[in-house]
Chain A
Amino acid sequence: MTAAPTAVPAAGTGREPNHGLRIVAIWLPIALAADLLIWFVWGPHLPPGDLSNSAASQQSDLTVMAVLAAPVMAFVLVFAGYALVVWRHREGDDEDGPPIHGNTRVSVAWIAITSALVLSLAVFGTAELVNPAGAGAGEGNTPIWKPGGGAPLQVQVIAQQWRFTYRYPQFGGFESTTLMLPVGQNVQFNVTSLDVIHSFWAYQLGVKADANPDVDNVAYTRPLHTGAVTVRCAELCGLWHADMTTAGRVVTVAAFRGWATATRTQLAPLTKNLPPFTLTYDPNAVAQLGKAFQKAGLSGAGGQYYGPQYPVQP
């Protein structure tokens, strides 16, 4: 192979400017400015925010990756832009370009840099996955990355077409259609489904776990502040997938205890009609659950929300 491209003898007339140096000179300030902007200005506002430790870890992950990606993108764009301006074809020039078939040093450098970036990202991503106990992602029924410090608050997320309900086994196993969480405490979501595959996505908490029938999919998080949470279904589950949303709140520990105790008492007659708490439910229990809901007038749907005019799914 030939020497480095900067050393290739100039094909044109006169002094050939040092293109490599020029490109770096344009690229460096752009990359630096982009990185500073991302790190200090954009990063703290990146989704999904910092309501929980998992959300915060995702935010910092996104920031770090953006900081690494920006110089790469800037380099490709600056290089290509420079080339398109400086090395464009001039009228009347029918000569071919210099016959450069490759350059070992440049290629090796490129491969080394991209490999280093990619491997460091993989290491960083793994650390960020292990560190905040699975980063809010569903970990299956035998989670290997768990939060330390005592038993977490257990919340079972039961998905069905087309609603989420939340069950609190540590409070007598009552079921609620709103998600309430205490601040500062580890939460363990046990996500399961009664029919098809859904995905429990608590946006501000940075939690996403597929709800599979017959599977207990565990995800952890720890809310850091109080605030509102929007839960949506993130896996196409049929006709009313888009409407499968619920509201949730992160409240203070005292407020949560008050809510949980009050709801527990209020729902006690209903709770005893529910199937006993298990990590997964036989779909045949759906009918039983539905009856219990209707009896208490608890669910927004109550079997009526979607209206009889809509075709039955499936």
Chain B
Amino acid sequence: MTVELQPGKPQEPGGRVPGGRQPEPGPPRSPRAWWRRPAVHTGVAGAVLGYLLGHLLGNFIAHGYSQVQNSGQNDYAIVLGYVLGTVGWLAGLGVFNDLLRQLAGRPVHAAEEAGDSSSGLARYFRYSLDHKVVGLQYLVGMIGYFLTGGLLAMAIRTELLSPSTHVFSSAAYTEIVGEHGTMMMMMLSSIILGPLGNYLMPLMIGSKRMAFPRIEALSFWLTPAAYLILLSGLMFGGFPFGWTGYAPLSVEATQGADAYAVAFGVMGISLILLGFNIIVTIVCYRAPGMRWSRLPIFVWAILTTSFLMVLAAPVLVGGMYMMITDRTVQTAFFTSDLGGSSYLWENLFWFFGHPEVYILALPGFGIVCEILPVFCRKPLFGYRIAAAGMVGVTLLSFFVWQHHLFDSGINPDMRPVFMLTTELISIPTGFIFLVALGTFWKAKIRFSVPMLFALGFYFNFLIGGISGVFLSDVPADTTEHGTFFVMAHFHYTIMGGLVFAFMGGLYYWLPKMMGIELNQKLGKIHFWTMFVFFNSTFLPLFAVGMAGQPRRVYTYARSLETLNDWVSISAFLLGGSILVFVINFVWSTVIARVPAPGNPWRSRGLEWQIPSPPPPGNFTVVPVVLSGPYEYGVAGAPPVADLDPPLGVISRDSLGDAAEQVEV
């Protein structure tokens, strides 16, 4: 049968005129000059206007209040400036246009949903509703945020070269530590869900679109705002409390703390929106035949991560909001004299903060489980176990937050319970290792660059995970808490785990996303330098911490200088290996542009069965999924999907399946 090519316009969003007739397609909307179309430049204009407006408003509201000494600044003015600046930024980008149209009862154009009508670079600077554009926007954004945080880390290690000779003042060092921690933990929470999740998930579940493209695009455009607000804190002297923001230090701190609170709050909202769209898309937009048991394991990972985001991030936003009201309208949430408690902050922060740790771990699990079968040429061992592990981690992660507070004096009698839940969480985490070892069994392992990063992930996460068990034990934690041991532990799980998985995912999927191959030789150099220097940086830090060096110090015991120097030099070399990545990325995607073969890894994943980069609308026809994505070596396994299903199959299947999908 012939394929009928239809324009990629699967549906109209709500609010259009259903006036009896399909509205005439008519001539395309008159293309306005580029500078009159909403894009980054109008966004910047809106942000500047909004900031000034907010600043004026704040000074007007608070003109009767005393300003903070020696600053000439006012918390009200700054917070309102940030908030209205963010709103202005979004308004300038045109985020609210469709909402205003709906409020006025006018039809909403569906122009940019299925595929951005315009091509070229310009669409990456606009509020584009194409999930592939948003994915690439996220990719560039996240790499930028990561490099910023990485440079701050280099600054930290420079200061720690010597306990007595100082490059930075104590104040500057504290600012740098706070900015590094917040940048990495906050901005990079969506390092995988943003780029890879948004770009690949619809391809992997066989959908032509996302459920809520406007929310998806909004979630990205909030991140530059959060990034700039966070960095702007440096203009007000930064914030002296790391990324954890413990009250009352954070309530008393100078205006830099406003930047921290607003930026973290804005990013929290971005996380909620990102997760919300992803969950609804996975639940409702899977192609016919994409049963839960055929869902790629990466999709399971981002599904569970999204649940963590949607449920935990509101608590973060609430906590940040309380900090802001404490700093501006003088509420007393965290001031014990006035009926508040600093414990309230610790509980709220870590109630988000621990799920956050798994927001940063689960997508990595997903990527490596996705990569292993392809390069082992074997089905994923224990698919159900892997999915169950992720769900188990998600559920348990809401019940472990007080292990950050073992020494704090909060609920000391509950510590055995939190010790138990924390240690229990290593069981589902262990599933991911079982899956890997099982997949290795009698495999045909190919050492391509993505596979190398996946193997590196397992090596690093093994150390990170096992050191986590040491931290879960209250007596051992008494020595380790608040030291470089903890620091080494979470860098092993996040940098060694998440970032390695992210890099593996990039080398694996960039040929899909851009149709361009990353240079494999440079990729191998990148992997080996990063792997060696990562371990050389962070393994000694376990010893440094056990030897008594607390976190976030600009000076330390003289006896630890040799170890610290070793670590610093390794860290610079690690920075160099990231530079290799940047060079490779720029070289491969901008200069060399070697076209990648359609399916360079011979993967069975649904996303690999369509051309690279995917055409607008992803699939010519909604595919019908016939089997799981990991049936390597299975004799007679059906192809993963029928990309050209006979007419009538989808509607039949969708009616039956759709009802079932909602019930599940």
Contacts and interface: CB of A to CB of B under 8 A. Distances in A.
Given A5-B442, A101-B381, A242-B170, A236 B551 contact: yes
A230 interface: yes
A122 B425 CA distance: 12
A256 B342 CA distance: 36
Interface in A56-103: 57-58, 61-62, 65, 69, 72-73, 76-77, 79-80, 83-84, 87-90, 93, 95-103
Contact of A97 (B410, B433, B444, B483): B444
B240 A236 contact: yes
A268 to B, nearest CB: 31
Contact of A107 (B434, B441, B445): B434
Nearest to A210: B408
Nearest to B557: A230
Kindly state the interface size class of chain A when it binds its partner: 35 or more
B634 interface: yes
A203 interface: yes
Interface in B428-474: 430-431, 433-434, 436-438, 440-447, 455, 458-459, 462-463, 466, 469-470, 472-474
Contact of B419 (A19, A47, A122, A311): A122
A54 interface: yes
A126 B171 CA distance: 40
Interface stretch (B23-31, B218-226, B371-379): B371-379
Interface in B146-166: none
A69 B381 contact: no
Interface in B393-433: 406-413, 415-416, 419-420, 423-424, 426-427, 430-431, 433
A99 B482 contact: no
Contact of A232 (B249, B384, B469, B550): B550
Interface string B159-199: 00000000000110010010000000000000000000000
Nearest to A216: B409
B171 A203 contact: no
A212 B409 contact: yes
Given A96-B633, A114-B426, A125-B474, A212 B408 contact: yes
B409 A126 contact: no
B336 interface: yes
Contact of A129 (B415, B442, B445, B483): B415
Contacts of A201: 482, 550
Given A96-B444, A97-B442, A73 B407 contact: no
B248 A102 contact: no
Contact of A118 (B336, B427, B555): B427
Contacts of A103: 381-382, 438
B455 A84 contact: yes
A224 B380 CA distance: 54
A25 interface: no
B554 interface: yes
A122 B389 CA distance: 20
Interface in A205-253: 206-210, 212-215, 217-218, 230, 232-243
B466 A73 contact: yes
Interface residues of B, number: 95
Interface in A126-169: 126, 128-129, 132, 134-144
B632 A96 contact: yes
Contacts of A96: 377-378, 444, 632-633
Q: What DSSP secondary structure best describes chain A's contact surface? A: mixed
B381 A208 contact: no
A296 interface: no
A126 B416 contact: yes
Nearest to B406: A137
Contacts of A110: 430-431, 434
B548 A203 contact: yes
Given A87-B440, A242-B552, 12 more contacts: A47-B547, A62-B479, A96-B633, A97-B632, A107-B438, A125-B476, A129-B474, A135-B474, A137-B474, A213-B342, A241-B552, A314-B240
12 contacts: A47-B546, A47-B547, A65-B473, A87-B442, A88-B446, A96-B378, A99-B634, A102-B438, A106-B434, A234-B551, A242-B553, A242-B556
Interface of B: 170-171, 174, 177, 237, 240-242, 244, 246-249, 252-254, 336-337, 342-343, 376-385, 406-413, 415-416, 419-420, 423-424, 426-427, 430-431, 433-434, 436-438, 440-447, 455, 458-459, 462-463, 466, 469-470, 472-479, 481-483, 546-548, 550-556, 631-635
Smallest CB-CB A-B distances: 4 pairs: A96-B633, A242-B553, A234-B482, A83-B440
